[in-house]
Structure formats: C-alpha cells, structure tokens
Amino acid sequence: MDHLGKQVQELHERHLRVESLLALSEKLQAEFKERLQSGSQCMLPSHNYTLPNGKEHGTCLALEVGGSTLRVALIDLNGRASTQPLRIRRIVASTIDNRVRDLRGLAFFDWIAAKIREMLLGDREARLRTQSSQPLPLGIAWAFPIDQTSIRSGNIISMGKGFHCSTFKGSDLGDLITEACQRLNLNIRLDAIVNDSSAVVLSRAYVDPSTRLAVILGTGLNAAVHLPVRCLDESKFGARRFPSTAKINHVLVNTELSMFGKNAFPTTPWDEDLNARHILPDYQPLEYLLAGKYMGEIVRLVLVEATETCGLFNGKLPPDLSVPFCLETRILAAIEADFFPHLTLARFLREEWTLPGQPTPAEIRFIRQVVLAVSCRSQAYFTAAIHALSNLLHDMDDSLLRNGLDHISIGCDGSVINKYPGYMQKCQLLLDEMVRIDGTGQKKVVLESAGESAVLGAGVAVAMANAGA
C-alpha cells in the first residue's frame, strides 16, 4: 500500500511546480486564442455586451440550473449604492440527483416548472403577481452549452454530467421552460438566459466594477470573460449579425472552460480509466481532471485498485464504494481537513462506507495521501487555467491599462472553490506566485468568493434586458 500511495502522489504532483504550471498556462492560452476564431462549442459570445452599471432596479424570478442543484429565487435589485445591492428574498434549492438526471422527454422541464411553483407558493406577493395579467419576469442561469439566438432564447447543444434528456439537443431552451410553466398555469415571462458563469460575472460586476472574469467550480467547471468583440471571428456569432464595433466594444464570452486542455494537461492511469468509462469520453477533459464530481471518482478508482492489489479493507471493496461517482466531495473534504482525532475519522469512514470494522492507521494514512494528491492537483490545474484566462484578458483588452483599477476581480462560485477546506486560499497563493514569476506585468488578480452569484446574475440579466442594456 505504501508503494501505491507514493505512486499516486508522484503521478499527481510531478507537474505541479510553478514553472510547469506556467507552461500549461501558455498551452491553454494558445488553445483559447484558436477557439476564439473557430468552433461552435467553446468561446461562445453571449447576448450580453455590456456589464451592469449598478443602477438597475427591480424584482424578478431567477432560476439556476446546475450540474447537481436547481435553485429558484426571488431577487430584489436595489442599486450598487445600497447597503444591500442584491437581495435574495426567497430561495428554494433542490438536489439534481441521478433520478432527476435520468428523466426523459419533457419530464425534466416539467420538474423544473414544479419547483418554480413550489417556491412561489411561499411568497404571497409573487404568487399574486403570477395570477394577475402582468407576468413575473424570469431569468435563467444555465450550466450547459447552448447556442444563444437572442437574450431570451438559445438552442441546447448538449448537457453532459450524466443527463439523459438528450432528445432536446437543438431545441430552444426558452420554449421548453416557458411551455413547462404554461402547463402549470404559471404566468411567467422569460426575459433572459445566461450561462451560469456569465451570470456570476454580471452579479459580481453589479457590486464590484473591477470584475471581468468569473469561474464556477463545483460538480463541474466553467468560466466567463468580458472580451473585446474584435477578439472573436465573425463566424463565432453564427446566424446573427456581427456586432458593429463602432457601437459595441465588448461581449461576455462563455468559455466552456471544461472542454479545454485535452492535449495540454498530463494525466494518470486513473484519469484514463475514468475517461474511457465515461458516457462522454474526451468531452470535458479539464473538468474530468479537477472538478468535484471527478475528484471523488479518481479517489474511488485508486481505492478500488488498492483493495484488489494491496489488501485495502482486507481485500473486500465496501458496497458503498462499488458504484461509479458515489464518492462525494464532502467526504474528501472531511478526510483532508481531518477536523477530528484519528479515531473519530476512522469511525466516520466506517459509518460512511459501511465497513465491517474501523480502518487501520495505515489505511487512514493511505486514504488521506490519495485525497491530498488528487485535491492538490485539482488546485494547481485550476490555478493554471485561471492564470491563462487572466493573461488572455490582459493580452486582448488594452482598456484595462486605462481603467484606473489596480487589480482584476474574479468572481468564484461553486461548492469546491468556496467550501472545500483551504481550496481558494491555496489557489490565490499559487496564482500570486505565477503572476510574480511570469514577468508579464499584469495587474494583480484577486479571487473573490461569490456565493449564490449564478442565481443573482440571472436576476441582474433580467434587469439589464428590461433596461435595454
């Protein structure tokens, strides 16, 4: 077991020196620039050309559809000068588990509409609004690739992450959501659709004008960046007219960051095993290496091998570890943080995995070694991707030199970046070191926690659409 533990650590950490990460960043930057010129799945220009000015006001319904959670909320926008610029009046979160992912046909969208109705039942004012002749405006933060045809419409490209409602590939998301609400007699008007990472940019920029980038790292991975329109080839705008640069300078770009890095980032045998078994192999290579859903699966695959070859758990794999993707990030966090004495951690694992006996001290050491190796690589690869995006922004947007701000803020949302022990802090330290060593002279890049920003950004997008932004 000691030999396998050292092998896991070496394979996961051998490319994590700052110099190696800077080289990975350069490869990613080249890939970013290539995809800004061609391709229909990455670097997708949105229909949001400006960032909020912080003066938008109103109340709306906001929906965030993520890889593992659906959030439905009522949002009040009170203005940047307010003591509470953005307020969630009421929010209901629902888990998107395998039962929901397995829904076929219209059932998934009917489930969403039912959750909207459930949330509205708890707010009298909003409930009365939907019963009146004046519809309640709705904004959607969507975590999956879409080809947007307007601020209010977009065709589903794919969903990934284990979802099975693939029959709607190419269908208009706005129509699917609107029709599902109509079937429940909900008087709702869809005013804005934004990618979830773009929504984080909008919500953070509403309160902090230094925001130009946002990332989401939880079950999955994505990022959005506000870039000059001239950086993108006309073909990236599809059937719509290429914006006149005399009138429009910038556009918010959904990077689909998860899809990058196939030929840039080193992998291990466990990564290759995961990819080969995946329902969509090679579809989101960077996400498979570092996002929450896959951190747990990589650890699980190592534990399976250790059980079969090294006698871990006395050579008998616990049934609770036999199902792919069953190992949740919260368990990895508990193992890594080790908030409790050794015996309590052993008892915790025994209960979580239904072990016949408590794991031995040697087994605990091995399991922690594996978890630490996987999370350390996740942090390093994530930081390399952030460095690549911030360098891309500096290279492409010379207006940053004239805006008077001494830093760029990156809004960070998602359970891993915001809740995994020490994750953001370690990434910030590593990012500072990368910026210091690369010698490009770019501004300081600051990671800012942005909880609930995707759902808040959906609300901001509605207010901007109604203001004619």
Local confidence band at 146 (pLDDT 50, 70, 90 cut-offs): confident
- Please give the pLDDT value at position 129: 63
The rounded distance, in Å, linking the Cα atoms of 43 and 258 is 11
Least confident piece of the model among 195-209, 214-228, 438-452: 438-452
Provide the token pair at 279. Answer: 């329902």
Local confidence band at 363 (pLDDT 50, 70, 90 cut-offs): very high
What is the average per-residue pLDDT within 160-187?
82
DSSP conformational letter for 185: T
Answer yes or no: is pLDDT of 428 > 90.
yes
- Please give the pLDDT value at position 165: 62
What is the average per-residue pLDDT within 274-303?
96
The per-residue pLDDT for range 47-102, each reduced to its tens digit, is 999 999 999 999 999 999 987 889 999 999 999 999 999 999 999 999 988 888 88
Q: If you average pLDDT over each of 17-21, 156-160, 442-446, 465-469, which comes out highest? A: 17-21
> Is residue 75 a contact partner of residue 60, using CB atoms and an 8 Å limit?
yes
State the amino acid at position 299 in one-letter form.
V
Torsion angles phi and psi, residue 314, rounded to 5: 60, 30
Q: Mean pLDDT for the chain?
A: 90
DSSP bridge pairs for 136: 188
Q: Diameter of the chain by CA atoms? A: 70
Answer yes or no: is pLDDT of 246 > 80.
no
- Please give the pLDDT value at position 469: 46
Q: What one-character-per-residue DSSP string does 233-284 give?
A: -GGGGTTSPPPPTTT--EEEEE--GGG--TTTS---HHHHHHHHHSSSTTSS
The rounded distance, in Å, linking the Cα atoms of 408 and 213 is 8
Answer yes or no: is pLDDT of 308 > 60.
yes
- Please give the pLDDT value at position 102: 84
The rounded distance, in Å, linking the Cα atoms of 387 and 431 is 7
What is the average per-residue pLDDT within 234-251?
81
End-to-end CA distance of the chain, in Å? 59
> Is residue 434 a contact partner of residue 25, using CB atoms and an 8 Å limit?
yes
Instruction: For 63-124, give the secondary structure using H, E and C.
Output: EEECCCEEEEEEEEECCCCCCCCEEEEEEEEEECCHHHHCCCCCHHHHHHHHHHHHHHCCCH
The rounded distance, in Å, linking the Cα atoms of 417 and 419 is 6
Q: What one-character-per-residue DSSP string does 363-419 give?
A: HHHHHHHHHHHHHHHHHHHHHHHHHHHHHHHHHH-GGGGGS--SEEEEEEESHHHHH
> Is residue 252 a contact partner of residue 48, using CB atoms and an 8 Å limit?
yes
- Please give the pLDDT value at position 416: 96
State the amino acid at position 33 in one-letter form.
K
What is the average per-residue pLDDT within 246-254?
88
Sheet of 58-65, strands arranged across: 86-95, 69-77, 58-65, 136-142, 188-195
Q: What one-character-per-residue DSSP string does 419-465 give?
A: HSTTHHHHHHHHHHHHHHHH---PPEEEEEE-TTHHHHHHHHHHHHH
What is the average per-residue pLDDT within 411-422?
94
Answer yes or no: is pLDDT of 22 > 60.
yes
Least confident piece of the model among 129-133, 198-202, 207-211, 271-275: 129-133
- Please give the pLDDT value at position 121: 86
The C-alpha angle 188, 203, 208, rounded to 5 degrees, equals 155
Answer yes or no: is pLDDT of 257 > 50.
yes
What is the average per-residue pLDDT within 253-267?
95
Strand 136-142 with 188-195, pairing:
parallel
The per-residue pLDDT for range 188-212, each reduced to its tens digit, is 999 999 988 899 999 999 999 999 9
The rounded distance, in Å, linking the Cα atoms of 450 and 54 is 17
- Please give the pLDDT value at position 128: 63
Local confidence band at 239 (pLDDT 50, 70, 90 cut-offs): confident
- Please give the pLDDT value at position 456: 95
What is the average per-residue pLDDT within 11-23?
96
- Please tell me the pTM assigned to this model: 0.89
Least confident piece of the model among 120-124, 215-219, 444-448: 120-124
Answer yes or no: is pLDDT of 131 > 90.
no
- Please give the pLDDT value at position 313: 95
Provide the token pair at 242. Answer: 């290429």
What is the average per-residue pLDDT within 425-444?
91
The per-residue pLDDT for range 365-382, each reduced to its tens digit, is 999 999 999 999 999 999
DSSP bridge pairs for 141: 64, 194
**What whole-number percentage of the chain has pLDDT above 90?**
70
What H or E segment, with its residue span, contains residue 9? Answer: helix 2-13
What is the average per-residue pLDDT within 231-235?
92
- Please give the pLDDT value at position 57: 92
State the amino acid at position 367 in one-letter form.
I
What H or E segment, with its residue span, contains residue 227? Answer: strand 221-228
> Is residue 337 a contact partner of residue 343, using CB atoms and an 8 Å limit?
no
Q: Is 58 helix (H, G, I), strand (E, B) or coil?
A: strand
